[in-house]
Structure 1
Amino acid sequence: MPYVFDPAPTVAIPVAGSGDDRFPVRRVYCVGRNYAAHAREMGFDPDREPPFFFCKPADAVIPVAYGDTLSLPYPSQTQNYHYEAELVAAIGRGGSDIPVEQALDHVWGYAVGLDMTRRDLQMKMREMGRPWEIGKAFDASAPIGPLHRAADVGHPEQADLWLTVDGETRQRSNVSHLIWSVAETVACLSQYFRLQAGDLIFTGTPEGVGAVKPGQQMVAGVQGLGELSVRIV
């Protein structure tokens, strides 16, 4: 089939311990306010209301190899650029209306990721009752570390999660504090979208989000999944 121009290459994430294997990214879903303490710091009641979702484009994903530090440009049109460290679940088998007790069978693996946010633009859109895209779905807004197969690492249920800025701890929690577990999130999301192999789910961030400036270095980690290093330039 001829194209009027060459299509963009598929974004693909390295698989930990596999050599050259890559996980191709199809869609990126994100869960909002999925830790109670973070919901409170954003001014919301953390009662267990149904989860809500937003999306980032697949080409917002920037894979970062272990041992590398990504140089991430400070984005345009913001003066309040925030980090959000997250556990990311990667879907390996699709489906709709997936029962919660079967949901983890659809998860291929896990990684540590950053949901970078133009917070001032997000808040402005929220106040106006408009979508969040310009605050959440901009270029290079989803750095991610290598994926680990669930067959190798299991399904994290008690894993520590953290983020430091220039060596100072800013976020520290545990994935057991998720309001909606990975299984519940997959099951709920599959009621609204037919999930497919290649989908990523950023499962939410704990309390401690904040701004970063050019020259600062972030290191995010999830127990058992390594760390992700990013420097703002």
Structure 2
Amino acid sequence: MKIICIGRNYAEHVVELDHTRELPDAPQFFLKPDTALLRNNDPFYVPDFSREVHYETELVVKINRVGRAIGERFAPRYYSEVGLGIDFTARDLQRTYIAKGLPWEIAKAFDHSAALSPSFIPLAELGGNVQNLHF
């Protein structure tokens, strides 16, 4: 499984975390490895390498077709279900690594840092358009 994450796409959260940074022109992409999944309703443990773990509720779009270089207008053909997730972040490490201009995957991709809902809901049941979901 590949977990593709999009960061810095929620303007209010960007401002909340760092008032001095400009909003990016485009979202940032990062990956979480398969080992980041918190499976089988297992408990989450705060990693011992961080003193400041934050969590965010995320909309999870399940991609159900293989594709590459997909035009924006064709993107909805590649997903049909959504779920919820919790993205755990070692925020103290993330700030440190970003300030040094280094990759910050250690803050996002650690073991069990991605919890997913046990099932996904067909978009058709929710109105069919992922851009119009409110929760």
TM-score, normalised via structure 2 length: 0.87
* % identity of equivalent residues: 35
When residues 64 and 110 of structure 1 are mapped into structure 2, their CA distance, relative to the original with a 3 A threshold, is farther
- CA root-mean-square deviation: 1.8
Query: Which residue identity is paired with 1:148?
Result: I
Greater strand proportion:
1
Counterpart check, 1:89 vs 2:61: yes
Q: Which has the higher contact order (CA 8 A, sep 6+)?
A: 1
Query: Which residue identity is paired with 1:42?
Result: L
Deviations 1:69-115 (CA, angstroms, capped at 9, x unpaired):
x5211112111010011101111112111111110110131111011
Say how many residue pairs are matched. 131
- 2:129 match: 155
For structure 2, list consecutive stretches of 5 or more residues without a partner in the other structure.
none
User: What displacement does 1:151 show?
Assistant: 4.1
Query: Which residue identity is paired with 1:155?
Result: N
- 1:117 match: 89
Query: Which residue identity is paired with 1:127?
Result: A
Q: Which has the larger radius of gyration?
A: 1
Q: Distance in 1 between matches of 2:79 and 2:65?
A: 7
The equivalences for 1:20-31 within 5 A come to 26-31=1-6
Contact (CA 8 Å) 1:29, 1:53: kept in 2 or not?
A: yes
Q: Distance in 2 between matches of 1:106 and 1:34?
A: 21
User: Which of 25, 36, 39 is the aligned partner of 2:11?
Assistant: 36
TM-score, normalised via structure 1 length: 0.52
When residues 61 and 108 of structure 1 are mapped into structure 2, their CA distance, relative to the original with a 3 A threshold, is farther
Contact (CA 8 Å) 1:29, 1:55: kept in 2 or not?
A: yes
User: What displacement does 1:64 show?
Assistant: 5.9
Q: Distance in 2 between matches of 1:98 and 1:135?
A: 29
Runs of 4+ in 1 over 6 A off after TM superposition: none
For structure 1, list consecutive stretches of 5 or more residues without a partner in the other structure.
1-25, 162-233
